[in-house]
Amino acid sequence: MSDYENTLPEKPAATASRRDFLRLSAIGLAVPAGLSVLAACKGESAGGAAAGARGAANGPGTAAGTTATAGMAHDSDQSGGTNAPHPATPQDARAKADAMDAMHEKGIKSFPAKTAGKGNVLMPPRMEGGVKVFDVTAGKVMWEVEPGRSVEAFAYNGQVPGPQIRVREGDRVRLNLTNRLEQSTAVHFHGVELPNDQDGVPFITQPPIKPGQTYTYEFTAPNPGSHMYHSHHNSAEQVGKGLLGAFIIEPRRKRAVERVDVDYVLIMNDGYHGYTFNGKSFPATEPIVAKLGQKVRIRFMNEGMMIHPMHLHGMHMTVIDKDGWPLPAPYRCDTLNVAPGERWDVIVNCNNPGTWAFHCHILPHAESEHGMLGMVTALVVQK
């Protein structure tokens, strides 16, 4: 059994699950095969204490404890596993379930929860003689990731992610970076094909920007697409703590597929601040809202250390761009694996009304026994 435990490179689930797991393993080991130390589940007959979450009406979407046709007897018919011990009486089970459900409900009902600070806010440029100028300051802030949980963050203009920058292909762009951190920094324009001296890598393309200094980047916006700007100095810490943002270069001419009603940037991170979308953890994440029939473009950007396979409920996504480059053969999916440093652009045709869960499908990044958490948001399609 110890072999098995050693082969687990990640904890099986969030919160207390590792402990649970070990405890259950211990039970598993202690129980001789085929022998149940606890009451058999047949004692808990179909149509038990708890009936009708939606009432007892027949038809789709009904919960009717009294109409159960299966029960555990069904299990032994198909004789997959052997019945496991479970100590709880139906009343105990219901009370425990209600307690767990209350936590889940509380989280969902509070969504989208208010927190101080909002990141990824579109930043209007200052015009200086035909140049679009962006003044950006890197500094330390306390950042509220979800209600009541504030963490130390490194932020551009006090935002995590930093302000969203959008320019147009061919624009002359200037970014003044002022460093108010206690360590040096530098800005790399990830995905943007710049002259080497604007690439933002200390000791390779520029000196580090020391605390207190301002450094100016200037270039003509080249290859269009969904790019990023982020620190390239002590980056595991600086990007992990928030020195990152979207840097989008709009094309001179939009493709037909790019004519959308909602254009949303979703940046993932998974380090010092936990599992976040645009700097916030569920329930403080932001829902994406569209009307029935509208087209939504989502620009996924991963600034974390892990993959995050993003799963959309109810509708599929058509993948159109990779790292800002149009895919020659766009394809459809409902779960898109986004690796660190990647950007993927997708289109959703909002043809299915409702509130749709939208989350990372590494389940411990999205839910624990206490309810949804971290990398969960919703796509709301309004009628």
Least separation in angstroms between CB 3 and its own copies: 5
- Paired with 262 in beta bridges are 296
DSSP label at residue 41: G
Closer by beta carbon to its own copies, 28 or else 261: 28
Residue 263 or 342 with smaller CB distance to its own copies = 342
Phi-psi region of 79 (alpha: psi -120 to 50; beta: other; left: phi over 0): left
Q: How far is the CB of 194 from its own copies (least distance, A)?
A: 7
CB-nearer residue toward its own copies: 297 or 365 = 365
User: 260 with 352: CB under 8 angstroms?
Assistant: no
Residue 221, helix vs strand vs coil: coil
Name the residue nearer to its own copies (CB basis): 80 or 259: 80
Minimum gap (Å) between residue 38 Cβ and its own copies: 10
Q: How far is the CB of 330 from its own copies (least distance, A)?
A: 7
Q: Which residues contact 243 (CB under 8 A, 6 or more apart)?
A: 138, 154, 155, 156, 162, 185, 230, 231
Report CA-CA distances (Å) from 44 to 39, 67, 101, 360. 10, 15, 21, 36
Which residues on adjacent β-strands are paired with residue 371?
Answer: 368
The answer to whether the peptide bond before residue 340 is cis (omega within 30 degrees of 0) is no
* Strand-by-strand arrangement of the 225-231 sheet: 165-168, 244-250, 225-231, 187-190
Q: Is the peptide bond before 283 cis (omega within 30 degrees of 0)?
A: yes
State the minimum distance, in angstroms, from the CB of residue 249 to its own copies.
13
Q: How far is CA 14 from CA 49, 241, 310, 361, in A?
A: 30, 21, 18, 14
Please report how close the Cβ of residue 184 comes to its own copies at its closest, in angstroms: 5
Residue number with CB closer to its own copies (234 or 285): 234
* Residue pair 336/344 in contact by the 8 Å Cβ criterion: yes
Nearer CB in complex with its own copies: 179/264: 179
Tell me how far, at minimum, the Cβ of 253 lies from its own copies, in Å.
Answer: 18
To its own copies, the closest distance from the beta carbon of 296 in angstroms equals 16
| 207 versus 293: smaller Cβ distance to its own copies | 207
- Residue with smaller CB distance to its own copies, 197 or 261: 197
- Considering the complex, what minimum distance in angstroms separates the CB of residue 125 from its own copies? 13
Report which secondary-structure segment, H or E, holds 358: strand 354-360
Token pair, residue 274, equals 């936990």
Our CB check for its own copies shows the closer of 233 and 297 to be 233
Contacts of 258 (CB under 8 A, 6+ apart): 251, 297, 320
